[in-house]
Structure 1
Amino acid sequence: MNKAISVTAVVKAPLQTAWEAYTQPQHITQWNHASDDWHCPSATNDLRVGGRFSSTMAAKDGSFSFEFEGVYTHVEPHHRPAYTFGDRRAEVVFEPVTPGKTKVTVTFDLEDTNPEEMQRAGWQAILENYKKHAESLAG
């Protein structure tokens, strides 16, 4: 079993907005990248147990791309989707903090290729991009 770590952001958006920004493909493509020289040109999301998701992660210069994809193992609407991707697992927990603020925590299994801090930094950067997008939707 792989070691799991978590990244967290408190989003200035109500739970419904935070959930939709994280789960709807038209929003996923706006934030699902770790740095400004990457983007997410396409995403699909079948948000149900057994449903599949996929996001294309691509360098903007066209030099490299890959699919981040997996299968949902648990879906509790507006609270917790969990999924597998390859031989790893992840879950996302949405918790209302105060009216208009939602804490989002992503817990994921580490992979063996890259150092833990690099993986943590990458997933945190993606979560920060998500936070900015969700907050822009909240007004």
Structure 2
Amino acid sequence: MQQVIKNGITVESTINAPVEKVWEYWNRPEHITKWCAASPDWHAPYADNDLREDGRFKTTMAAKDESFSFDFSGIYTIVKENELIAYTLDDGRKVSIAFSSTEEGTKVTETFEPEDTNPLEMQQGGWQAILNNFKKYTESAV
């Protein structure tokens, strides 16, 4: 079963950690709130994750100065432990995240349908920055 991603943008990173750790840190709310931000002036004060097909997730992303926040939320369509997550965001866009073991660690490849408001390069940069934050957090955790 595959999820169709229209005109998708892809970001990726290889994390120096086994796939089981990467999966756990990607999906557990107590970890999500530590890494899910695109820049140091943002944070994720809340995360909830029902990781199963038809399960819902929500992460609140907020400016640290409290000037703006939004919920990043949706419903899972595919969950294959340590391999693949696919979901549909509440605005209807599709996202797919693949996890694969390599000699260097775990490669995370995230493909998403862009929204219509911001330039594609900005969206790709933001999603890549969050993935880079995830890599830094996961590799530094004991």
Please confirm whether the aligned pair reaches a TM-score higher than 0.5, indicating the same fold.
yes
Structure 1 CA distance, aligned partners of 2:92 and 2:45?
A: 25
Aligned-residue sequence identity (percent) comes to 51
Query: Any runs of at least 4 consecutive aligned residues in structure 1 with deviations exceeding 3 A, and if so which?
Result: none
Per-residue CA distance 1:38-69 (angstroms, 9 max, x = gap): 00001000000000000000000010101000
Structure 2: 5+ residue stretches without partners: none
User: Which of these residues, 43, 48, 51, is aligned with residue 44 of structure 1?
Assistant: 48
- Corresponding residue of 1:124: 128
Q: Please state how far the C-alpha of 1:136 moved relative to its aligned partner.
A: 1.5
TM-score by length of 1: 0.95
Structure 1: 5+ residue stretches without partners: none
Structure 2 CA distance, aligned partners of 1:62 and 1:128?
A: 23
CA contact (8 A) 1:58 1:64 kept: yes
CA RMSD of aligned residues (A): 1.1
CA contact (8 A) 1:2 1:111 kept: no
Q: Please state how far the C-alpha of 1:3 moved relative to its aligned partner.
A: 1.5
- Corresponding residue of 1:94: 99
Secondary structure of the residue aligned to 1:112 is coil
User: Which of these residues, 46, 57, 60, is aligned with residue 56 of structure 1?
Assistant: 60
Q: Please state how far the C-alpha of 1:84 moved relative to its aligned partner.
A: 0.3
Structure 2 CA distance, aligned partners of 1:112 and 1:56?
A: 21
